[in-house]
Amino acid sequence: MLNTLYSLCMHGTGSTTETAVHRYPTAAKRGLTESAPPNVETVYDALLHRERLEPDKTTMGRRRVLSVSQRPHDATGRPWTYFRLGDYEWLTYREIKRYTAALGAGLAHLGLSAGGRVAIYAPTSREWTLCMLACYSQALQVVTAYDTLGAEGLLHAVNEGEARVVFVKADQLPTVLRIAERMPRVQTVVYYRDAYGMPAAAHAALAALRALKRRVLAMDEVHAYGVASPRDAVVAGRDDTALVMYTSGTTGPPKGVLIAHGGLLAVCGAIHELVPSTIDYGRDHVLSYLPLSHVLAFFVETYCVYSGIRIGYGTPRTLTEESMEPGGLGDLRALRPAVMLGVPQVWNAMRATVLRQVARRPWAVQRLFHGAVALKTWLVQRGLPTGLLDAVVFRRTRQATGGRLKIAITGGAPVNARVQRFIAAAVCPMLHGYGLSEASGLVAVQLPGDASVANVGPPVPSVEMKLVDAPDAGYYARHGQGEVWVRGPSVFQGYLNDAELTRRTVTADGWLRTGDIGQWTPRGQLQIIDRRKNLVKLAHGEYVALEALEAAYSNSQYVANICVCADARMPRPCAVVNVDAAHLERWARDAGIAYVSPADLPTSHAFVQLVLCDLAEAARLNGLPRQEVLADICIDPVLWTPENGMLTAASKLRRADILRRNHSHVQEMYSRCGLL
């Protein structure tokens, strides 16, 4: 695909302030994709379409939690939770249709009618998707709320979204109880639980909610209402709202994004044109473990329901054997998926794990492995076969993910080019996608067979795209750069209760201003340079792109995560580096750094310099100019997670919170740089 043009310029478009409009080649010839074939226009239609074609085909596999135990981690000694899980259990499309029709009728029995809203506040699971489909069987709308948002985040989504029913996992009943009296519209809470039972706190919360005169029902009870009193399906139209999706905002309260059924199915139709022939719709699996409250996971789930690719559910904690009882398989090896989604943090961790394992092998084996990575990258870029390397050198790394992965898809933030090449060599081809809630998920993605890196591919067939001058950030269309604007049937309906923000975000002629800065490659692929709000001017007048730098520095073995900080006082950026405390002692020992306690290492001058030197090497390998090489760092040894508030539910940095938690160390770092 070395000479392929990935997108085409539309004749007669473009001006001095904006590039020509780009479309995927098929969309340039016959128009934008508006639905999934054959004219499937709503999410529930997608289920009915697949059930008509293959009623007895199985999908939506889940593993029952048989037991949970807590004890010190086998390797680090830290408190850890271990799981014993059953085998995957599957449903047929006929069973899914029957169950969701009854569950939807049960929701209607509770007093909900077309256009009513149900808030789903639960982790990714089969129950999440069944509840969603049940809502759509009665033309109800789904309000999504990340299960990591906490009580205040749920309260905001439920009250602003005007949900009348909240659907939760039993573990979250205590959270619902804390805010129950501040959710006046919510009279019903529906819950589901694991096979091994409910925590004691959940039982207590259930009783307390009932004492507050709230109706609390198990999912199976609502289903039983529907079985006893069946109702005809009430299917929404393509222009009806399917989702009120609350974005995981990095600042301020989340915004409610209104997404129509037609927008989601336009994206499904676009994906359907791009899926490679190597995917076997009858047998291949997608591992679903990312939050379904995030648009990336949601639209992929919708596409799987429509297309027949089998969905197997997992959790971040049980992907590998690390949290499994002895002899148990993690979700990856139990399911053996063909497709896996991930955010950059997942791929960075996967690469770091493989490299740690390789570093323990003899010197000759290490050289063989790294040489094989370089050789395979060279072969793939030239379209040459790599089967021998896969069978001999990379067999173990491929087996760790189940041995059947055909495609890894990354999104949510920029992925480091070296990480992308490494995963493509050691595991399977990686495709970089780009999307946002305001465009129903996906607007650009690399195509199968494209071995290039540092781009997100062409616009998908459901949208057209152009770049518009961003003079405040120094980007101009005449240089092939600018803010990314998107138009097409997948663009959202607006922000809930915020007409002014909607007006500022979508132009009168339908162009969505994404806030991202991009540029075109000579072959029509889009490169995302950074978020417009994350471009910072340094003391010498040059701009630096914070997210792009974070992607470059994530290549360091010491980086679990990194927050680059810069302002107009600084000639070069600094950073707060998040390291995994579990590896501190080994790194210090390998480097010959003396210490009294591992707790001293994050502030040890010698250890900080060790990490800073490795980051300088990452800068060199990524070709960063001098003004983008970090001047100094401070280290945070407590891993950043959504649960401790350092990341959003979509694993994006909460910069202000990170800097606030590390305030004293950041001030010391700035002082060393002469800024204070």
Over residues 378-399, mean pLDDT: 93
* Angle between helix 126-137 and helix 43-53 axes, rounded to 10 deg: 100
**232-242 pLDDT per residue, tens:** 999 899 999 99
Strands 633-636, 8-9: pairing is unpaired
Hey, which of 189-203, 450-464, 564-578 has the most confident mean pLDDT? 450-464
Tokens of 121: 């506040």
Q: Whose CA is closest to 300, among 411, 168, 461?
A: 411
CATH 3.40.50.12780 occupies which residues in the chain?
A: 343-532
Q: Whose CA is closest to 128, among 319, 331, 293, 334?
A: 293
Q: What fold characterizes domain 539-672?
A: GMP Synthetase; Chain A, domain 3 (3.30.300)
Over residues 489-512, mean pLDDT: 97
Alpha helices in 138-283 (DSSP H): 150-161, 173-179, 200-211, 219-228, 261-274
**CA-CA-CA-CA torsion for 154, 157, 162, 167, nearest 10 degrees?**
-50
- For residue 436, the model assigns a pLDDT of 93
Question: How far are the Cα atoms of 101, 161, 256, 641 from residue 143, in angstroms, in the given order?
Answer: 19, 7, 9, 23
Listed range (14-18, 334-338, 352-356) with the worst mean pLDDT: 352-356
Tokens of 52: 């008509």
Q: What type of residue is 555? A: N
Question: How far are the Cα atoms of 556, 572, 615, 633 from residue 671, in angstroms, in the given order?
Answer: 25, 14, 20, 12
- For residue 248, the model assigns a pLDDT of 63
CA distance 183 to 152: 11
CA distance 465 to 27: 12
pLDDT class of 437 with cuts at 50, 70, 90: very high
Over residues 32-50, mean pLDDT: 95
DSSP notation for 277-326: TT--TTT-EEEE-S-TTSHHHHHHHHHHHHH-PEEEE--GGGSSGGGBPT
- For residue 356, the model assigns a pLDDT of 86
- For residue 73, the model assigns a pLDDT of 78
Q: Could you tell me how many residues make up the chain?
A: 676
More confident residue, 187 or 135: 135
- For residue 1, the model assigns a pLDDT of 53
More confident residue, 295 or 676: 295
**Terminal alpha carbon distance of the chain:** 53
More confident residue, 361 or 78: 361
- For residue 198, the model assigns a pLDDT of 87
CATH 3.30.300.30 occupies which residues in the chain?
A: 539-672
CATH of domain 43-313: 3.40.50.980
Q: What type of residue is 140? A: L
**85-120 pLDDT per residue, tens:** 999 999 999 999 999 999 999 999 999 999 999 999
Cα-based angle 451, 334, 310 (whole degrees, multiple of 5)? 65
Residue 96: which residues within 8 A CB-CB, separation 6 or more?
A: 47, 51, 59, 60, 130, 133
- For residue 447, the model assigns a pLDDT of 94
CA distance 348 to 356: 12
As a whole-number percent, the residues of the chain with pLDDT over 70 amount to 98
CA distance 60 to 83: 21
pLDDT class of 420 with cuts at 50, 70, 90: very high
Q: Taking 60 as the threshold, does the pLDDT of residue 676 lie above it? A: no
pLDDT class of 504 with cuts at 50, 70, 90: very high
CATH of domain 343-532: 3.40.50.12780
Q: Indicate the average pLDDT of the chain.
A: 93
- For residue 492, the model assigns a pLDDT of 98
Q: Taking 80 as the threshold, does the pLDDT of residue 35 lie above it? A: yes
**214-254 pLDDT per residue, tens:** 999 999 999 999 999 999 999 899 999 999 999 765 556 78
Hey, which of 93-107, 140-154, 290-304, 313-327 has the most confident mean pLDDT? 93-107
Tokens of 240: 């009806």
Q: Taking 80 as the threshold, does the pLDDT of residue 3 lie above it? A: no
CA distance 595 to 588: 8
- For residue 646, the model assigns a pLDDT of 92
DSSP notation for 452-496: --S---SBPTT-EEEEE-BGGGTB-GGGTEEEEEEESTTS--EET
Tokens of 525: 């692929």
**153-169 pLDDT per residue, tens:** 899 999 999 999 999 99
- For residue 533, the model assigns a pLDDT of 80
- For residue 230, the model assigns a pLDDT of 97
CATH 3.40.50.980 occupies which residues in the chain?
A: 43-313
Tokens of 45: 């239609």
Alpha helices in 110-164 (DSSP H): 126-137, 150-161
Of the CA atoms within 13 Å of residue 115, those in its CB half-sphere come to: 2
